[in-house]
A and B are shown apart, each in its own frame.
Chain A
Amino acid sequence: MAGIVSYGAYMPYYRLPRNVINAAWGRGGGRGEKAVAGFDEDSITMSVAAGLDCLKETDPKTVDALFLATTTAPYKERNNSTIVATALDFRRDARNADFANCLRAGTAALFSALDAVKAGSLKSVVVTAADMRLGGAAGEDEQALGDGAAALLIGDGRVAVEIEGSYTLSDDLVDYWRSHEDNFVRHWEDRFGRDAGYMKIPVEAAKGVMAKLNITQKDIAKLCLYGANVRAQQTLAKRMGFEDSQIQNPLLDIVGNTGAAQPLMTLVAALEEAKAGDRILLVSYGNGSDAIVFKVTPEIEKIRDRRGIKRHLEIKRTLDNYGRYLRWRNMVSLPPFNVPPGAPASPAAQWREHSSALPLYGVKCKKCGTPQLFLSGSSTRAHVCVECLAKDEFEPYRFADKRGKVASFSHDYLTGGIDPPVTATVVDFEGGGRGEFDMVDRQPDECKVGMEVEMTFRKMRYTYGTHTYFWKCKPVRD
């Protein structure tokens, strides 16, 4: 039976307290905080992070496709999912696709993955859902919207979670939208969206799936809802006939509304607590509603070692500087850097390296066994062994999944960038090999020679309409 074989999630390290935002605008109060992606993160990098968590015990070469869901894809024309699949080291014949432009993109991608696996055309699919919708400065969305990602591995056979059934309603009800001209989400009058949309359509979908499966509210252990605030979710749950206690905590106070990622992130949070036999009802919302009933199997116990939602909630740092956040989001005008801009990155040079640089492959010498990561800036491909000088006697060796220790570092205040200082770091990998990377999600004061770091996929620079993606390192925090 097709179902969920593994899950993972990602939440950015920084949390922006709502009272910090309010204080910047001369307002008091503000409840909780929201997770904010770093200056070098986007929906692609967060999808990679969630994917890494999800694929902890899975060889990525065995996965047949990557379906990426987001309303904040960095590219309109360029397959966002293929960047994620390449970074995660999928096969070149993986069938990747972007699911976009709707808050139900996560559940839409999940349906397609399940259908393909059920039909037997794909054996396994990773679904990632990530979002980082931007709220305009001083507005309500700035308070509400948070950043994050979830990933599900869909497969066949001994699944951890079965999908019992689903019910979908499509409805072009325009309550929230962004056109190609909009940086920020637009809303129609809130009461229209609430009364004609949010409080109605998910109720029909939830009741639809329960009727289809001939189950009642009592058969459901947890209810995972999309929704902008806790009170609205409680009202919605009540209309569906559920008790407050059945609602899975949607993390709105501590993470924020993560858009297309929210339904799957909430599902992952529910799965972390679920026991074999539990039924979970997930209801997404956005131009309609998808309601899906999951049933947890005993296999769930085998996939407990994830950062998921719970551990990511603890890996955090308060961002108490609203100006820094605005700078990350390019929402303030900065003085021009006093270093001339670099030449645009060449797509040809990036393409030449993408099979090694994006999944972070080095090589291992077949003669002397030395792992080595050759990073000259313009190439990741070595020809002559650094140890025994054998020529072209290498086999591929991946570094993205290796941890390492800091051999040296410096906090560079001169190079500038969006979030100075840049912590240039030389990493000695466990098992051998060394590379130089920027370190992120670190406090300058905590950096020490010998500290343990792991790899994280990030944006490097943006020229001529394309991002250069590569790996950085960050402290291991669990």
Chain B
Amino acid sequence: MPGSIKDRVAIAGMGCTHFGERWDANTADLLVDAAYQAFEDAGIEPGDVQAAWVGTQNSGMTGMTLSEPLRLPYIPITRVENACATASDAFRNASYAVAAGIYDIVLAIGVDKFKDSGISGLTDGSTPGPSHAMGSVGMPPRSFAMLATTYFARYGLSYEEGKHMICRVSWKSHVNGARNRNAHFQREVPLETMINAPMIAWPLGLYDCCGVSDGSAAAIITTPEIAKSLRKGKEPPVFVKAVQIAMSPRDGNYNAKFDYTHVETTVRAASAAYKEAGITNPREQISMAEAHDCFSITEAVTMEDLGFSPRGKVRDDIESGFFDLDGKLPIQTDGGLKCFGHPVGASGIRMLYEMYLQLQGRADKLLNPGMPSRQVKNPKLGLTHNLGGRPDGCAIFVGIIGLEGA
């Protein structure tokens, strides 16, 4: 019988860099910025960290990616890679180490520095390697676009209806991102502009795709007791309620059971996370979420896979504003991957960072001057979700964090 992480570990402090095209910063700069923000938030010294997990998809090898810039002497550090679920998996493993009673205070941190590559997409996986004997290889948008193609066909949406739906997803994220001064893109964009934007991978246009960014995010994970004592007099610590990873057998593009209208791996990870956290009605019980919106259609489909919207009905919730900042279940309150940005190895902890700030009531810490508040009212539980890979073959993370007793 598997155990549960629920309330066994807590987050004592977090940090997150400005995401974006960080021409000014290298991998080490980003790691140091995020880690020291987290140390300061938790009220600890770097020397208090007993072990660390550093997630990076493509910006370093081994734990020395972290130990060198932070000058962490001889502590155990694991380098984690699980595509877009990299940082979340670093967080998960760090949580287990504390829950197991092996360490008291650990650091989970994610980073990626992509923008030195000189291209507008991801370098990894977009070009065939020497062992690539056959078949087509392309950058990620095409495989996510297939979700849209088949979703539209299955549910009878015309191109115009479907396109409006997915652009409405991105429109909402731009509204949220505009209120966040750490976001990569901080500008609201008219829906019509999005609908008519150049195609990247039909039916996905420019605004259906998230940016590729540089950035880092960090979390200090500790026992509930230590977290409470460290945060005495400050905002309360945030408790880990569930951390689940599910790995698909990567057979969607050769197993006809994969229907290109949902991602079964998300359904499985979410079901395990809800069980772990004791959630029975996610649409009602989850206060807010950061879902993996690498592409607008990914977020749309994920809303159904997470049980937030009935199967085939997400369009109603998207178009009615259910997921807007002032809706019943706000999604991507910080702008999401779409606007906050997507340094692959950092994104999972960035999502947790946003949930952490919202749960502590300090989301407006990063408010852009002159913008209305982006604080969600009285949130209790925040969910984060990553999809690493492609819809038909992916590593999925679903995590839930919340206030004590939630």
In the complex, chain B residues 249-284 whose Cβ is within 8 Å of any chain A Cβ: 249-251, 253-256, 258, 260
> In the complex the two chains form, is A343's CB within 8 Å of B128's CB?
yes
B150 CB-CB contact with A under 8 Å: yes
In the complex the two chains form, what is the Cα distance from A435 to B135 in whole Å? 9
Chain-A contact segment, one of B4-12, B197-205, B238-246, B318-326: B197-205
A residues less than 8 Å from B119 (CB atoms)? 338-340
Chain-A contact segment, one of B61-69, B140-148, B166-174, B342-350: B140-148
B residues less than 8 Å from A386 (CB atoms)? 249, 251, 254-255
> In the complex the two chains form, is B253's CB within 8 Å of A414's CB?
no
> In the complex the two chains form, is A377's CB within 8 Å of B143's CB?
no
> In the complex the two chains form, is A412's CB within 8 Å of B141's CB?
yes
A residues less than 8 Å from B199 (CB atoms)? 411, 413, 421
> In the complex the two chains form, is A408's CB within 8 Å of B138's CB?
no
Given known contacts A340-B119, A448-B153, A372 and B254 CB-to-CB distance under 8 angstroms? yes
- Mask, B121-133, CB within 8 Å of A = 1, is 1010011111111
- Tell which of B120, B139, B256 touches A428, judged by Cβ atoms closer than 8 Å: B256
- Tell which of A340, A410, A436 touches B201, judged by Cβ atoms closer than 8 Å: A410
Chain-B contact segment, one of A227-235, A260-268, A280-288, A350-358: A350-358
Given known contacts A339-B127, A408-B260, A372 and B255 CB-to-CB distance under 8 angstroms? yes
- Identify the closest chain B residue to A472 (Cβ): B136
In the complex the two chains form, what is the Cα distance from A414 to B131 in whole Å? 23
> In the complex the two chains form, is A357's CB within 8 Å of B200's CB?
no
- Tell which of A372, A379, A414 touches B138, judged by Cβ atoms closer than 8 Å: A414
- Identify the closest chain B residue to A421 (Cβ): B202
> In the complex the two chains form, is B254's CB within 8 Å of A411's CB?
no
- Tell which of B134, B142, B153 touches A450, judged by Cβ atoms closer than 8 Å: B153
> In the complex the two chains form, is A435's CB within 8 Å of B254's CB?
yes
A449 CB-CB contact with B under 8 Å: yes
B137 CB-CB contact with A under 8 Å: yes
- The minimal Cβ–Cβ distance linking A409 to chain B, given in whole angstroms, is 6
A295 CB-CB contact with B under 8 Å: no
Main secondary structure of the interface of B (DSSP, over half): loop
> In the complex the two chains form, is B253's CB within 8 Å of A375's CB?
yes
A residues less than 8 Å from B123 (CB atoms)? 339-340
- Tell which of A339, A410, A444, A460 touches B204, judged by Cβ atoms closer than 8 Å: A410
- Identify the closest chain A residue to B255 (Cβ): A386
- Tell which of B121, B130, B146 touches A410, judged by Cβ atoms closer than 8 Å: B146
Given known contacts A375-B135, A410-B142, A414-B121, A345 and B201 CB-to-CB distance under 8 angstroms? no
B26 CB-CB contact with A under 8 Å: no
A residues less than 8 Å from B50 (CB atoms)? none
B118 CB-CB contact with A under 8 Å: yes
In the complex the two chains form, what is the Cα distance from A412 to B137 in whole Å? 11
> In the complex the two chains form, is B129's CB within 8 Å of A438's CB?
no
- Tell which of B138, B147, B153 touches A415, judged by Cβ atoms closer than 8 Å: B138
A residues less than 8 Å from B131 (CB atoms)? 346, 349, 378
> In the complex the two chains form, is A424's CB within 8 Å of B256's CB?
no
A373 CB-CB contact with B under 8 Å: yes
A468 CB-CB contact with B under 8 Å: yes
- The minimal Cβ–Cβ distance linking B297 to chain A, given in whole angstroms, is 10
A461 CB-CB contact with B under 8 Å: yes
> In the complex the two chains form, is B200's CB within 8 Å of A414's CB?
yes
B residues less than 8 Å from A193 (CB atoms)? none
In the complex the two chains form, what is the Cα distance from A244 to B250 in whole Å? 63
- The minimal Cβ–Cβ distance linking B185 to chain A, given in whole angstroms, is 18
B368 CB-CB contact with A under 8 Å: no
Residues of B within 8 A of A (CB): 117-121, 123, 126-139, 141-143, 145-150, 153-154, 198-204, 249-251, 253-256, 258, 260, 392
Residues of A within 8 A of B (CB): 338-346, 349-350, 352-353, 357, 372-380, 386-387, 407-415, 421-422, 424, 426, 428, 432-438, 444, 448-450, 460-461, 468, 470-472
Known A339-B121, A379-B133; further 5 A-B contacts with Cβ < 8 A: A340-B117, A386-B255, A428-B256, A434-B256, A468-B132
Return 14 A-B CB contacts under 8 Å, by A number. Answer: A339-B127, A345-B130, A349-B130, A350-B133, A375-B134, A377-B132, A377-B137, A410-B149, A411-B199, A412-B145, A414-B139, A424-B146, A433-B256, A468-B134
6 tightest Cβ-Cβ pairs between the two chains A and B: A410-B145, A342-B127, A408-B146, A411-B202, A449-B153, A470-B134
